Amino acid sequence: MGEWITIALSKGRLLNESIHLLNQIGITHRELLANGRRLIFEIPSEKIRLLLVRAGDVPTYVEYGVADMGISGKNVLLENDPEVFEPLDLKFGFCRIMLAEPAGAEFRSRRNPSKLKIATKYPKITEKYFSRKGIPVEMIKLGGSVELAPMLGLADQIVDLVSTGATLKAHHLKIVDEIAASSARLIVNRASLKLKHHRVFDLIGRIRSVIA
Ligand code: PRP
């Protein structure tokens, strides 16, 4: 069968469907969904090792070759721009990166664009978006719960992930613009692509056949 392959999975919103996808190609571990503290799982019959890491760290594990492959949201890839091969859109974890602001705030934010304060977990995506538009903004980098920022007067607008839209609605925010669409992607380390070519392409093929 060849060498072991390490796959980094994102904890959080992509995890269940990532595990389901691997199940469909015969890669299973009964403790994966046990919600324990374990972060590394080995499946000797498949020579597969699975790592559970923070969603934002998956590209780093794959880029540095600690993991041969990974499942990452496109949102994370757009923000981190890692040097990895991205062979497959896995067709789950659909969401969008949106610019949003408090309902009824249009007049204030558009009258004085040079003063716009933007709260986000995605500073690079945000920076690119506003520089393309030629609008100077003040970036306020947060680690989460970004929707609170306009409510508390910390920012005028936010750039954040929107899936169902329930979080925006609950905080009386409305969409100003769509910045990017996202879904789960399979990513592969560039060296593994060459050095473990047979195993990597076998896995890509098996995954492709179940998402087709
Ligand atoms: C994301 C995002 C929004 C929410 C959107 O947060 O930042 O808060 O999900 O989902 P919805 O449109 O379905 O309501 P996440 O759960 O990743 O956690 P966070 O608070 O760390 O951002």
Which CATH number fits the domain that encloses residue 156? Answer: 3.40.190.10
Residue 207 is predicted with a pLDDT of 98
Same domain, 155 and 187: no
Same domain, 150 and 113: yes
Same domain, 9 and 84: yes
91: left (phi over 0), alpha (psi -120 to 50) or beta: left
Same domain, 177 and 206: no
Residue 107 is predicted with a pLDDT of 53
Same domain, 163 and 193: no
Report d(CA 88, CA 190) in Å as an integer: 15
Q: Are 73 and 160 in contact, with CB atoms under 8 Å apart?
A: no
What pTM, to 2 d.p., does this model score? 0.92
* Ranges in the chain, pLDDT < 50: none
Report d(CA 58, CA 131) in Å as an integer: 27
Q: Are 92 and 167 in contact, with CB atoms under 8 Å apart?
A: no
Residue 30 is predicted with a pLDDT of 85
Same domain, 60 and 14: yes
Q: Which atom of ligand 1 is nearest to the CA of 163?
A: 12
Residue 20 is predicted with a pLDDT of 96
Same domain, 196 and 141: no
Is the Cβ atom of 160 under 6 angstroms away from ligand 1?
yes
H or E stretch covering 36: none
Ligand 1 centroid to residue 15 C-alpha, Å: 15
Is the Cβ atom of 170 under 6 angstroms away from ligand 1?
no
Q: Are 48 and 7 in contact, with CB atoms under 8 Å apart?
A: yes
Is the Cβ atom of 165 under 6 angstroms away from ligand 1?
yes
Ligand 1 centroid to residue 160 C-alpha, Å: 8
Same domain, 138 and 40: no
104 Cβ contact list (under 8 Å, min separation 6): none
Ligand 1 centroid to residue 82 C-alpha, Å: 23
Of 79, 97, 163, which is best to mutate to test ligand 1, by the most ligand atoms within 8 angstroms of its C-beta? 163
Same domain, 75 and 99: no
Domain count, the chain: 2
Is the Cβ atom of 166 under 6 angstroms away from ligand 1?
yes
Angle at 91 between CA 86 and CA 92, to 5 degrees: 110
Same domain, 115 and 176: yes
Same domain, 86 and 16: yes
Residue 200 is predicted with a pLDDT of 98
Same domain, 168 and 194: no
Burial state string for 169-199 with b = 16 or more CB within 10 A and e = fewer than 16:
eebebeebeebbebbbbbbbbeebbeebeeb
Residue 34 is predicted with a pLDDT of 77
Amino acid at position 64, single letter? Y
Whose C-alpha lies nearest to ligand 1, atom 7?
161
Residue 108 is predicted with a pLDDT of 56
Residue 105 is predicted with a pLDDT of 78
**Structural domain of 151:** 95-181
